[in-house]
A and B are shown apart, each in its own frame.
Chain A
Amino acid sequence: MTQDPAAETTPFSIEQALTRFDQLIDRLGTTQRPAEATPEVEPDESNVDEVEAGAPDAMDEVVEPDVEAAEATSAVPAAAPKASVPDPYADAPVVLEVSGLVKRFGSTVAVDGVDLEVRAGQIFGIVGPNGAGKTTTLSIVTGVLRPDQGNVLVGGRDVWVEPAAAKRDMGILPDRLLLFDRLTGRQLLYYSGMLRGLDRATVLSRTEELIRAFDLEDAQDRLVTDYSAGMTRKVALAAALIHSPRLLILDEPFESVDAVSVATVLGILRRYADAGGTVVLSSHSMDLVESVCDSIAVVAEGRVLTSGTTASVRGDATLEERFVRLIGELQPGEDMEWLRSFSV
């Protein structure tokens, strides 16, 4: 039995999913979107285009990282200093503010004074090597792990002081935590929505729309435990969206998700950000982060090495080169002479 009929109908399902999600975003936007973001939310496509067209050129390059754009970037004078790259989000309100975050597990320091500032309407990527403290940071931000020091403000409210208000604004997709996977996909979405305090009618209609947008129709009545890894990721993401949060925190959202679904989900996230939502995602895939994220923070050994718009962080190289250089300064490679003198 083929589990994923989307494989044959790829072009259509993506198109359809995106259109449906447009409608969904519109609806979510009109119910709970705060006043300052409302002007950006308009039901028709043309308006979104307008917003993009009106943005500075630099943003176009960031948003649409096609071949041409990439060439254009590399054509920028090699010594482009960071300050000269304009930050199109400089005026947007700060949605997430993290300051002085510290978390220790026994003698190891997982997070060692992380500061972050994420402004509204963008996709913000946190990249770093394995064990850099990405998951720990995001767990603290979402109010799931208690920090030893530091503050997390979501929309100006401290997650650890006013959890109810701060958590309402957040949708989260944790990494490596289980779901209530003995529920069917549809039950899980309904459960998530009801726990968020929505009324039943809203939850039911949003569940339907999310199932369609994420192409889960065939799987909606099967237990989540029987889903493939990618499908589990998708249903978890849908559950994170159901209460129309202002801020989405996604930990490794594309782990083991197939290329088609990544494209679908990226489309959804992009439209969500264009409508005024904010996405913070962590990943260790440089290419993906470089092509998707508007701003980036590079994290290693529990600290933020650098952060800013993708263009400014990347500078004149690719993000991967820049990343390797940054990390390399931090962790000089061992010589391992013996590896070259092969034993006979």
Chain B
Amino acid sequence: MVALFLRLRLTQLAHALRRRPEQLFGLALLLGLGIALTGYVIESFFDPNVFPARDAAAAGVIVGSLVTLGFFVVPVVASSDDVADPRVFGPLGLEPLVVARGLALSALLSVPSVLLIVTAGAYFVAWSQHPGVGLVAFLAAVLIVVTGVLGARLMRSFAALVFSTRRLRELAGILGVFALLACLPFVLALVLGMREASIVERLGGAAAGLGASPLGQAWAAPTLAAEGDMGGAWLKLALAALFVAALWLLWHALVIVMLRSRVSADLSAEWGGRGLGWFDLLPRSEAGVIAARSLTYWARDGRYKLALAVIPVVSLIVVIPFLVVGVWWQNLALVPLPVACLFLGWLLHNDLAYDSSALWLHVASNVSGWADRVGRALPVLGLGVIVIAVLAPISVLLYGDWTVFPSMLGVCLALLLGGVGVSSVTSVRMPYAAVRPGGSPFAQPQSSGSAAGQAVSFFLIVLCALPALGLAALELAEGGNWGMLSLAAGAGVGLLVLVLGFAIGARTFSRQAPELLAFTLRN
């Protein structure tokens, strides 16, 4: 029976390779990344710089615990469809124990598991060089592999059970993005503080803490043995084995539960709320309902949600290279908000294509171009104004000099208003193929023609902000009245481009609506 499970797993792996070349390339890239990461981890075990046993122990335990943690966390976040979901075996009437054992063993046959085995093997080799540690190191390596593989298997099925509804999974995804953002400062602090002397002591403390936790016990056992504390080492091994036993019991219980619960037929059905949602809140005009529809889609459509989630990440990430080359962080406090405004305005530049052929409703209802353009722009403008109102003072506060406030506002307004104006034109003039509604936001559209619209709108938006940016630069350099001028230029150019963009976009939409629909149909 176990052989059957293993063969099933091998077949799955073989089928995973039956993809289009570009997907295979992506897989190869991921695989390369995994191997490189494994290489780094293994190298850290043999690093001669940290060969004094105490430092090597700290490094090993910390890196190892992170690896084990990854095996518990990544399966929850990366929620692809689990072909080996225990629920699939429900109709076969197998014993839960058989399914649990088969699936757990077949989980060994995966790329991450193999990399983990290699890593654990290297750990064993590194520590068995110390006299008398061989057996302990070997058992530790085995426990490391079993903990990681079983933990990943458990967490994956657990996530599938808990995040059974679409909404929960999406919520988890968004929370994950925020968690990542929250981690960023810690990572930065760690990277920046690496060269300080006290860091070694702090790392030693962290290693001790991790070594006492279930994540690090197996990793810590050989280090204790190398120091001569054999009793402590065997205790760690026993505790690690106990943890594995607990994992196994949990996994077995989960399989029993999942074998009984059938995959609900209504898994995807989602309750949309009783009222009309945004439609109740926004103006009762054509533009108002179109704005309400856009907002509703922002909340329900993965494609929009991804775009919105990416904006804060990108605006913070652009800062990192400057930090690395040593720009003082307070100067960089002014950067993220304008970048966010730029991307907010840019968000709209292919809005029509996102509707796909549902656009017929606007064409058949003879929606005026003006209402269509304004309606789609309203949510972005609303969100943008809120973001600027909240974050502009905070950014300037972090920078520490209030004289830059007007030019900050000028640049942000130019980017937001100008961006919406430019996008209102490019989305009807230069639409390009977009992912269809309901498709994965990471998917590539079937026919991806030229996406010139992307580049052109980006370039034009930056162009709109140039006057305000130039004046803001002057104010940073010389002070004086340049800031107020920057505000006036930003707001003026932004508004002008916004109104012009609406007018041109509306005219084009009214004239070309059937052609736009035909375009969405071709994709």
Contact = CB atoms under 8 A, between A and B. Distances in A.
Interface stretch (A54-62, A125-133, A221-229, A299-307): A221-229
B360 A182 contact: no
Contacts of A181: 358, 437-438
B437 A182 contact: yes
A223 B366 contact: no
- With most chain B CB atoms within 10 A of its CB, the pick from A180, A186, A225 is A180
Interface in B278-336: 279, 284, 286, 288-290, 292-293, 296-297, 300-301
A170 B365 CA distance: 9
A184 interface: yes
A226 B515 contact: no
Interface in A228-270: 239
A195 B365 contact: yes
**Chain A interface size, under 10 / 10 to 19 / 20 to 34 / 35 or more:** 35 or more
Contacts of B366: 143, 163-164, 167-168
B375 to A, nearest CB: 10
A182 B273 contact: no
B92 interface: no
A199 B272 CA distance: 24
A127 to B, nearest CB: 23
A191 B289 contact: yes
B268 A226 contact: yes
Contacts of A167: 364-366
A337 B214 CA distance: 76
A195 B366 CA distance: 8
B363 A187 contact: no
A148 to B, nearest CB: 12
A177 B296 contact: no
Interface in A141-166: 142-146, 163-164
B277 interface: yes
Given A1-B265, A194-B286, A222-B271, A182 B301 contact: yes
B286 A197 contact: yes
Contacts of A145: 514, 517-518
Contacts of A225: 437-438
B128 interface: no
Contacts of A195: 286, 289-290, 361-362, 365, 367
Interface string A270-306: 0000000000000000000000000000000000000
B357 interface: yes
B445 to A, nearest CB: 14
Contacts of B1: none
Nearest to A239: B361
A192 interface: yes
- With most chain B CB atoms within 10 A of its CB, the pick from A170, A176, A187 is A187
B364 A144 contact: yes
A104 interface: no
Contacts of B170: none
A174 interface: yes
Contacts, number: 110
A183 to B, nearest CB: 6
A177 B357 contact: yes
B22 interface: no
Given A178-B437, A182-B300, A226 B269 contact: yes
A145 B279 CA distance: 29
B300 A177 contact: no
B478 interface: no
Contacts of B355: 180
B401 interface: no
Contacts of A118: none
Nearest to A188: B361
A197 B368 CA distance: 11
B167 to A, nearest CB: 11
Contact of A187 (B270, B296, B301, B358): B296
Given A184-B273, A191-B289, 14 more contacts: A1-B266, A143-B366, A144-B360, A146-B515, A167-B364, A178-B358, A180-B355, A181-B437, A182-B437, A194-B284, A195-B362, A221-B273, A222-B271, A223-B269
24 contacts: A1-B265, A143-B364, A143-B514, A144-B517, A146-B514, A170-B364, A174-B364, A177-B357, A177-B521, A179-B361, A181-B437, A182-B297, A183-B272, A183-B293, A187-B293, A192-B365, A194-B286, A195-B290, A195-B361, A195-B362, A199-B284, A222-B270, A222-B271, A226-B269
What 7 A-B pairs come out closest when comparing CB atoms? A184-B272, A195-B365, A194-B289, A178-B358, A177-B357, A167-B366, A182-B300
Interface of B: 264-266, 268-274, 276-277, 279, 284, 286, 288-290, 292-293, 296-297, 300-301, 355-358, 360-367, 437-438, 514-515, 517-518, 521
